[in-house]
Structure 1
Amino acid sequence: MAKNLVFFDAQCPLCYHTKKILQVLDWKKRISWMAVQEIEESPYAFLRSNDLYDQIYMVSSSNLIFSGFHTIRKILFEIPLTRLLSMPLFLPFIDKILQPLYLFISKNRYRWFGRYEVPQFD
């Protein structure tokens, strides 16, 4: 079965620690992770024209591209322990509320959580 591939900012402490927690919860290994800092050497270099440092991106197992809130929702749906938590995120119009909230957090994450000088790839 093909995995979902999530692109995260390896210089962002919030992103890095969220990834580490989600990896522990993902015992079925449905999600792979790649730092946006490594995208140039990958088959996904075509994504570099997107706002990869502003939003989290995912290429799903069915080759659909998700970004921002939609990526978070898909990740939570794919992980067995968080699937139930993801269900309300599929309600009609919830993305109209949560996408702006996601963008607000993303825009302020360096101010609130700092920034690693060296990307954290593990």
Structure 2
Amino acid sequence: MLALYDGNCALCKASKEKSNKLDWLGRIQWISLQEYEKKGLQPSFRAIDLRRELHLIEGVKVYKGFFAARKMLLQFPLTILPALLLYIPFASLIGIPIYNWIARNRYKWMGTTCEDGSCSL
């Protein structure tokens, strides 16, 4: 699986580092939007979309936001059980608003700031 992030965004880089600590089995490959575009890979994405929500590519399928986080958490040994709860029918009805709230407040959650403004939404 390929996770995309904005390589100019301090918050995105911090999220990547924290996720890598949970990825003991090396199931997620991270690539910056800038590197992804340089290689001419498809599908293409806008940086602003990557700042708003996580994007995860598995084959030809693209997961975004809550669905990407849920899929990613399923890959990490420590988060498999909580991730399974996110697959209960209608979990997305609660999960999507919670994901969006966390994304909007991620500066507080990540304990970092974006000083050059590249992380602004």
State the number of aligned residues: 113
Deviation at 1:105, TM superposition (A): 2.4
- 1:58 paired residue number: 56
For 1:47, what is the secondary structure of its paired residue?
coil
Structure 2 portions without partners, runs of 5+ = none
When normalised by structure 2's length, the TM-score is 0.76
When normalised by structure 1's length, the TM-score is 0.75
Counterpart amino acid of residue 116 in structure 2: E
Structure 1 portions without partners, runs of 5+ = none
Stretches (4+) displaced over 3 A: none
Deviation at 1:24, TM superposition (A): 1.9
Matched, 1:28 2:25: yes
Find the aligned partners of 2:93 and 2:48 in 1 and give their Cα distance. 21
Greater Cα offset, 77-86 or 64-73 = 77-86
Greater Cα offset, 43-52 or 68-77 = 43-52
Pick the aligned partner of 1:48 from 41, 46, 49. Answer: 46
Instruction: Work out whether residues 39 and 48 of structure 1, in 8 Å CA contact, stay in contact via their aligned partners in 2.
Output: no
Pick the aligned partner of 1:106 from 103, 108, 112. Answer: 103
Deviation at 1:48, TM superposition (A): 2.8
Structure 2 CA distance for partners of 1:82 and 1:108, relative to 1, 3 Å: closer
Taking only the aligned residue pairs, the percentage that are identical comes to: 31
- 1:115 paired residue number: 114
Root mean square deviation of aligned Cα: 2.5
- 1:96 paired residue number: 93
- 1:69 paired residue number: 66
For 1:51, what is the secondary structure of its paired residue?
helix
Counterpart amino acid of residue 101 in structure 1: I
